[in-house]
Structure 1
Amino acid sequence: MTDTTDSKATERRGFIESLELDMRMLGMIGALLLISIAFNLATGGNYLSPRNIFNLTIQTVSVAIMATGMVFIIVMRNIDLSVGALLAICSALMAMTQARWLPGVLGLELGSPLIAPLTILFGLAVGTLVGAFNGWLIGYQAIPAFIVTLGGFLIWRYAGWYLTAGQTIAPLDQTFLLFGGAEGTLGEFWSWVVGALASAFALWAIWSARRSKVAHEFPVKPVWAEIALGVIAVGAIMGFIAILNAYSIPTGKLRRIFEARGEALPEGLSMGHGLPISVLILIVVAIAMTVIARKTRLGRYIFATGGNPDAAELSGINTRFLTVKVFALMGFLCGLSAVVASARLQSHANDIGTLDELRVIAAAVIGGTALSGGSGTIYGAILGALIMQSLASGMGMVGVDSPLQNIVVGAVLVFAVWIDIQYRKRWGAK
C-alpha cells in the first residue's frame, strides 16, 4: 500500500514538473479566487459585479506600477521607503503646474492641449531626478538605502505640503484626468481590439518560448499542455474585457457625452466603459519591466548584483551606477503613479499616497520577491498588489473598519513571507 502511494506521489510530482508550473503563482491565483468568492458570497454577489471589478482594477494601478519598480530595488538588496512621499511631491508639482504656474506664467488655461503633456513630462522628470539622487547617495556615498529613503519619506511629502500651502488643488485638466481610469476608458470596440492583440501576444509568447527551448534542446511541455495554457490565457484576457464592457456608463454621463458632441442620446442606448486607460498603462509598464528583467543586460546585472554583490562587482559590473539607474527608474514609476493617482482622485490632496510605501513593499513581497535579494517577478508584484487591494475592497464592502483592515493586511504579509520560505524549502528555490 505504501509503495503504491509513493508511486502515485512520484508520478504526480513528475506530471507537475513536466508542465513547469509556477507553484507560487498558482497559489497566489488560488488565494485571489478564494478571497473573491468569499467576499462575493458575503456581499450577495456585489463583489464580483462588473462595477466593483472596474473600480478594483483602477484602484490597484498606482500601487502596482510602483511595485514593479520595487521588485528591482529589493532584488538588489535595497529598500525604498520614500515612494509614497515621492508620489505626493510629484502630484503636488503637477497639480500646481496645471492649475497655477502654466496659467500664470504662460497664460495656458485648463483645457489647452499643451497643459497635460507639459504637466506629465514635468512630473516624470522630477520623479526620475529625485530617484537618481537617492541612488547616488546610496551607490556613491555609501549611505544605507534605509536611511536615505527614510529621510525622503519625511522630506518629500512635507515639501509638497508647503508647496501647496496645505490646500487641495482642483480642478485639474480634463485631458490629464483621462489617465486616472474613472474618466478615461477605451470604450467597448477598442477594448475588444486591445484584448485581441493581448491574446495574440500571449499565444505568440507561448509559441516563442517553446520554439526557443526546442532550438536549444531543452525539455518542453506536452503539446496539449501548451494548448491548454493558451486557451486559459485567451479566456482570462477576453473574459476580463467582457466584464469591463459589461459595466455600463450611467445614462446621465452618457447624455453629457453626446451633448458635448452636439448630438442627442438615442433612446435606450447603452454603452460599456471598457478598458480603463490607467490599466492599459499598467499593462505596458508590466511588459516593459518584464522585458528589462528577462531580455536586457540591465536586468541581468540587477539580478546578478542581488544574487552576489561582491561577485558582480568583481566581474566588472558598475554596481554603484547600477544603483543610480534602478532608483531613477523607481522615481520615474513614482511620477507615473502620481499621474494615475491624482487623475483618479481628480485633485491633489495632501494625504495622497499615504502608506503607499508599505503597500508597495508588501505587494512585492507577497508576490514572491525575496528580501534577501536576487529573486522576484514583475507579474508576482502586480498580483500581490491586486490581492491586497481585493482584501481592502472586500473588507470595506462588508463593513470592516479601517484599523482591522490594516491588521488583516499585516497578518497576510507575514503569512505570505512564511509561505514563501516554505516554498523555497519545498521546491529548492534559491
Structure 2
Amino acid sequence: MTDTSHSTIASPGKVEQNPLTRFLRATEIDTRMLGMVAALLIIWVGFHIYTDGLFLTPRNLWNLSVQTCEIAVLATGMVLVIVTRNIDLSIGSMLGFVAMIMGVIQVKFLPQYLGFDNSFTWVITLACGLIVGTLIGTLQGVIIAFMGVPSFIVTLGGFLAWRGLAWYVTSGQTVAPLDTTFRIMGGGAEGSIGSVWSWVIGVIACLMIIAGLASSRHQRKRFNFPQRPLWAEIFLAVVGCVLVLGAIWVSTVYYWPLGIAKRYAQAHNIAWPDGGIDIPYGIAVPVLIAILVGIVMTFIATRLRFGRYVFAIGGNPEAAELAGIKTRWVTVRVFAIMGLLAAVAAAISTARLNAAANSQGTTYELYTIAAAVIGGTSLAGGTGTIAGAMLGALVMQSLQSGMGLANVDTPIQNVVVGVVLVVAVWLDTVYRARAK
C-alpha cells in the first residue's frame, strides 16, 4: 500500500508536465522574458509586412540598435530606482541639462584654451558631464532619503527645474557643431567599428557565453545544486551564439553611403573604382557603450552586496532596516547611479545629434519607465532585471520606429505608447497575483 500511494502522488506531476513545460524547466528560461521576445518578433514581422518589407532591413535594424541605446542605458538605472519602490521623473530633463552643459564646454569654453578638436576635448567634456549628472542624482537622492520628500515630488520638481536650467544655460540656443572625436559616441559612419572588429567582438562574445555556461555548470556541481541537462546547456549556447553572430552579420551588410565612402577614400588616398567601395558599418559605438553599461549594471545588481541591499529594500523596507542595511545611503547611491547613467545617455544623444538642444530628452522619462515595466520590473518594488529592461527598451523603440516607417501620426504614436504602458502594468499585476 505504501508503494502504491507514493507512485500515485508522484505520477500526476510527471503527467501534467507537457513538453513545453519540461523544456522551460530544463533550460530555466524566464517565461516573461520569452514572452517579450515573442512580442518583439510579432512587432517586427507585423511592421515588416505592413511597410512592404522596409522594417527588417539591415539599414533599419542598424538604426534601430543605435536609437535604442539612450533609453536602454537609462532603463538599467530605472530598474534599481523602481525596485526600491521609488520613481524618477526627472531623467529626461536631467539628460537635457547635462547635454547642454557638455555642448557649452566643448563648443564655447574649451576652444578658448585648447583650440578646436583638441585630443583632450572629448575627455574633459565627458568627465564634466558625468560629474554633473552624478551630483544631480546625488542631490535628489539626499532630499528623498534624508529629508523624507517622496521621490515622485522630488523628481517631478527636477523634471521642471532641470529643463528650465537647460534653457537658461544658452537662453534656448542650440549649440553646434561638436568635437569630432566626441561625435564617435553617437554612431554614424565614423562612430562604428567596421567589419573585422565586429566579428572579433562577436567571437569573443560567443566564447564568453560558452565559458559562462561552463562556469555555472561547474559551480552547481561543486555545491551539489541541480544542474540543467547537457542538451539544455548546448541549446542555450547555440541560441546565444546564433543571436550574437546574427546581429554582427546584420551590422556588416549595411554599408556607408557612397558620398561618405568616397570622401573617406579621398582622405586616405584610396583609389576609387567605377563601382564604388562597400565599407561596412559594423557595430556602432553607442551600442557597445549600452552593452557595457548593461553588463556592469547586471554585475552590480546580481553580484555585489549593494545589489542585494537594493532588492532587499524593495522587498521589505522595514525588514531591511532591521537587518542593519543603511537604507538611506543605498537610496542616495541608487539615485546617484541614475544621474550618472543620465549623463552617459546625454553623451550618446548629443554625439548622435552633433548638437546640444533644449528639446533633448523630452518624454524620455516615460519611455524609460515603460521599458523597465515591460521588461518585468514591478512598480510594487523588489523585482526586476537589467536584461529585461534593455529588451523592453528595444520593444519600445521598435514600436516607435515601426510607426514612423508606417507614417503613423505622432499623437497616435503617443496613444500606442500609453496603451502599451498600461497593459504592461496590468500584466505585471496579474503575474504577481498568480505568483502568490
Q: Same fold (TM over 0.5)?
A: yes
Alignment of 1:59-98 (within 5 A): 59-98=67-106
Identify the residue that residue 146 of structure 1 maps to in structure 2.
152
TM superposition shift of 1:5: 11
> What SS class does the counterpart of residue 361 from structure 2 fall into?
coil
The equivalent position to 2:119 in structure 1, one of 91, 107, 113, is 113
1:292 Cα deviation from its structure 2 partner: 0.5
Shift of residue 205, structure 1, vs aligned partner:
1.4
Shift of residue 217 of structure 1? 1.4
Aligned ranges 1:291-302 → 2 under 5 Å: 291-302=299-310
Q: Which residue of 2 aligns with 1:278?
A: 286
Q: 1:45, CA displacement in angstroms?
A: 1.4
Q: 1:360 aligns with which of 364, 368, 386?
A: 368
1:229 corresponds to which of 233, 236, 241:
236
Deviation at 1:143, TM superposition (A): 1.0
Partner residue, 2:261: 254
| 2:359 is the counterpart of 1:351 | yes
The residue matched to 1:46 in structure 2 has which SS?
Answer: coil
Which whole-Å CA distance do the structure 2 matches of 1:144 and 1:211 have between them?
45
- The alignment covers a number of residue pairs equal to 423
For 2:245, the aligned partner's letter is M
Which of 23, 32, 35 is residue 43 of structure 2 equivalent to?
A: 35
Q: Does 1:158 align with 2:164?
A: yes
Q: Cα RMSD (Å) of the superposition? A: 1.6
Residue type of the alignment partner of 2:227 = V
Out of 16-25 and 343-352, give the one that drifted further. Answer: 16-25
Q: Where do 5+ consecutive residues of structure 1 fail to align? A: none
The match for 2:59 is 51
Give the match for residue 24 of structure 1: 32
1:169 aligns with 2:157: no
Q: CA deviation at 1:401?
A: 0.4
Unmatched 5+ stretches in structure 2? 1-10
Tell me the distance in 1 between the aligned counterparts of 2:42 and 2:15.
28
1:310-389 mapped onto 2 (5 Å cutoff): 310-389=318-397
Contact 1:178–1:277, Cα closer than 8 Å, also in 2 = yes
Does structure 1 retain, via aligned residues, the 8 Å contact 2:26–2:232? no
* Contact 1:254 1:265 survives alignment (8 Å): no
1:11 Cα deviation (Å)? 3.8
| TM-score of the superposed pair, with normalisation by structure 1 | 0.95
CA contact (8 A) 2:103 2:178 kept: yes
Paired residue type of 1:256: R
Aligned-pair distance for 1:222?
0.9
**Is the partner of 1:48 in helix, strand or coil?**
coil
207-216 vs 241-250, greater mean Cα deviation: 207-216
Taking the aligned partners of 1:202 and 1:418, their CA distance within structure 2 comes to: 34
Offset of 1:420 from its aligned partner? 2.3
SS of corresponding position for 1:247 = coil
Q: Which residue number corresponds to residue 407 of structure 2?
A: 399
Distance 2:324 2:13 in 1: 48
- Residue 374 of structure 2 contacts residue 389 of structure 2 at CA under 8 Å; is this kept in 1? yes
Secondary structure in 2 matching 1:174: coil
In 2, Cα distance between the equivalents of 1:319 and 1:227?
41
CA distance in 1, matches of 2:335, 2:128: 18
CA distance in 2, matches of 1:265, 1:314: 71
Deviations 1:375-417 (A, max 9, x none): 0000000000000000010011011101111111111111122
Q: What residue identity is the alignment partner of 2:254?
A: Y
d(CA) in 2 for partners of 1:73, 1:100 = 35
Distance between the aligned counterparts of 1:264 and 1:117, measured in 2?
Answer: 34
Distance (Å, rounded) in 1 between the aligned partners of 2:111 and 2:23: 64
Q: Which residue of 1 aligns with 2:423?
A: 415
1:126 is aligned with what amino acid? V
Give, in angstroms, the shift of residue 9 of structure 1. 3.8
For 1:179, which of 176, 180, 185 is the aligned residue?
185
Aligned to 1:206: 213
One-letter amino acid of the structure 1 residue matched with residue 348 of structure 2: V
Q: Kindly indicate whether the alpha-carbon contact (under 8 Å) linking 1:110 and 1:172 is maintained by their aligned counterparts in 2.
A: no
CA contact (8 A) 2:27 2:236 kept: no
- Work out whether 1:217 is the aligned partner of 2:224: yes
Q: Contact between 1:58 and 1:181, CA under 8 Å: does it hold in 2?
A: yes
Amino acid at match of 1:127: G
AA paired with 1:397?
L
2:133 corresponds to which residue? 127
State the Cα deviation string for residues 321-354 of structure 1 (Å, max 9, x = none). 1111111110000000000001111111111100
Distance 1:109 1:289 in 2: 36
Q: Structure 1, residues 119-151: CA drift from partner, whole Å, max 9, x if none? A: 000000000001011111111111111111111
Q: After the TM superposition, which parts of structure 1 deviate over 4 Å for at least 4 consecutive aligned residues?
A: 4-8
Secondary structure at 2:69's aligned position in 1? helix
Amino acid at match of 1:230: A
Q: Aligned partners of 2:101 and 2:24: how far apart in 1?
A: 51
Rounded Cα–Cα distance in structure 2 between residues aligned with 1:148 and 1:27: 34
CA offsets 1:263-293 (integer angstroms, 9 cap, x no match): 3334542111000000000110010000111
Displacement, 1:259? Answer: 2.1
In structure 1, the partner of 2:5 is none
Query: Following TM superposition, by how much is the alpha carbon of 1:8 offset from its aligned partner in structure 2, in angstroms?
Result: 5.1
Deviation at 1:422, TM superposition (A): 2.8
